[in-house]
Amino acid sequence: MGSRVELYAAIRFDWQRNQMSIRALADKYGVHRRTVREAVASPVPPPRRCSPRVAPVLDGVAGLIDAMLAEDAAAPRKQRHTAKRVFERLRDEHQVRVSYSYTAKYVHRRRAELTAQAAGRAGVLAGYVPQLHAPGAEAEVDFCDLWVRLDGQVTKCFLFTMRLSYSGKAVHRVFASQGQEAFLEGHVAAFEVFGGVPTGQIRYDNLRSAVHRVLFGRTRAESGRWVTFRAFYGFEAFYCQPGQEGAHEKGGVEGDGGRFRRSHLVPVPSLN
């Protein structure tokens, strides 16, 4: 199971739809009955209990590291402290003996905390709600760039990916462009492989193959052919917020496209 959230969702689905008992669910998923009861009570897994670790050496230099990270708030983005630079300054300027791995872990955690604190003071602290997806209900679509060696020439192509949100199953097709013909053909190929169409909605960013113009909020002016295509197959389109605000709304397909490219298209494929 990919994550605790997906495990809890699967348990709740069997409990609600198939009326399985606590014991049967525990046997099916190989978990303790306590875990099954937690999933039945709430789809959100409780936080893991972690015993705090004592790091006396690092605790003694935490103030020094915090001061260096605070300097970065006023420094140019490309001239801020890396974990390596923090480690070097601790060693050379303060004669502190602390391992690089501990320093790097502290810098990574503390920088995120300081950034969140600064955002909170500015009134823009963000939060999130874990997503839950019913089987076969939702999917995500995206294009990502890739390169192939075509008759000896490195040529840019585009990888169409449709990924089912619940199972993570994905279909990939390579096209010479991101045009509407490729966009629609990718959908048809994915529906054939999946054996059907998602019963809920499919998530998109503002692909020009589907959207003429971005209006207010999530409202979009869609192309006529795209509207007809959706009506024929009977699915809804969900458009993510433009820019960084909507990056998390279809992170699964963006990550899957990169994974496929690294796994199957390295080294650069050659075609004649």
Render the chain in DSSP notation, one character per residue: ---HHHHHHHHHHHHHHS---HHHHHHHHT--HHHHHHHHH-SSPPPPP-PPPP-HHHHHHHHHHHHHHHHGGGS-GGGS--HHHHHHHHHHHS-----HHHHHHHHHHHHHHHHHHHHHHTT-----------TTT-EEEEEEEEEEEETTEEEEEEEEEEEETTT--EEEEEES---HHHHHHHHHHHHHHHTS--SSEEEE---TTTEEEE-STT-EEE-HHHHHHHHHHT-EEEEPPSGGGGGGGGHHHHHHHHHHHHHHS-S--EE-
Question: What is the torsional sign of CA 91, 96, 99, 105?
Answer: negative
Higher pLDDT, 102 or 59: 102
In this structure, are 17 and 95 located in the same domain? no
Rounded average pLDDT over 118-131 = 61
In this structure, are 176 and 260 located in the same domain? yes
pLDDT band at 207 (very low <50, low <70, confident <90, very high): confident
pLDDT surpasses 50 at 1: no
- Decide if 1 contacts 10 (C-beta within 8 A): yes
Domain presence at residue 130 = no
pLDDT of residue 194: 94
Residue 18 backbone dihedrals phi, psi, to 5 degrees? -100, 0
In this structure, are 18 and 112 located in the same domain? no
pLDDT of residue 45: 80
pLDDT of residue 238: 85
Q: Which CATH number goes with the domain that contains 219?
A: 3.30.420.10
In this structure, are 114 and 163 located in the same domain? no
Domain presence at residue 241 = yes
- Decide if 136 contacts 123 (C-beta within 8 A): no
Tens-digit pLDDT profile for residues 155-203: 999 999 999 989 989 999 999 988 889 999 999 999 999 999 998 889 9
Mean pLDDT across the chain: 82
pLDDT band at 58 (very low <50, low <70, confident <90, very high): low
What is the β-pairing status of strands 211-214 and 201-204? unpaired
pLDDT surpasses 60 at 242: yes
Domain presence at residue 186 = yes
pLDDT of residue 237: 85
Domain presence at residue 13 = yes
In this structure, are 165 and 261 located in the same domain? yes
pLDDT of residue 222: 76
In this structure, are 157 and 237 located in the same domain? yes
Per the structure, how many domains does the chain have?
3
Cα–Cα dist 175/211, whole Å = 19
In this structure, are 143 and 265 located in the same domain? yes
| Angle between helices 33-41 and 4-17 in degrees, nearest 10 | 80
In this structure, are 256 and 161 located in the same domain? yes
Tens-digit pLDDT profile for residues 3-29: 777 788 788 878 877 888 899 999 988
Question: For residue 178, which of 207, 211, 140 has the smallest C-alpha distance?
Answer: 207
Tens-digit pLDDT profile for residues 90-122: 989 988 888 888 889 889 888 888 877 776 665
Among the candidates 95, 121, 147, a domain finishes at 121
Radius of gyration of the chain (CA): 24
pLDDT of residue 16: 79
Among the candidates 121, 148, 171, a domain finishes at 121
pLDDT band at 130 (very low <50, low <70, confident <90, very high): low
Domain presence at residue 95 = yes
Rounded average pLDDT over 42-67 = 74
pLDDT surpasses 60 at 246: no
Domain presence at residue 128 = no
Share of the chain above pLDDT 90, in %: 19
Cα–Cα dist 63/2, whole Å = 38
Rounded average pLDDT over 32-42 = 88
Higher pLDDT, 46 or 272: 46
In this structure, are 113 and 153 located in the same domain? no
In this structure, are 250 and 188 located in the same domain? yes
Domain presence at residue 134 = no
In this structure, are 267 and 143 located in the same domain? yes
**Residue 112 structural domain:** 56-121
pLDDT of residue 192: 95
pLDDT band at 56 (very low <50, low <70, confident <90, very high): low
Among the candidates 65, 87, 121, a domain finishes at 121
In this structure, are 65 and 147 located in the same domain? no
pLDDT band at 127 (very low <50, low <70, confident <90, very high): low
Cα–Cα dist 239/217, whole Å = 9
Domain presence at residue 48 = no
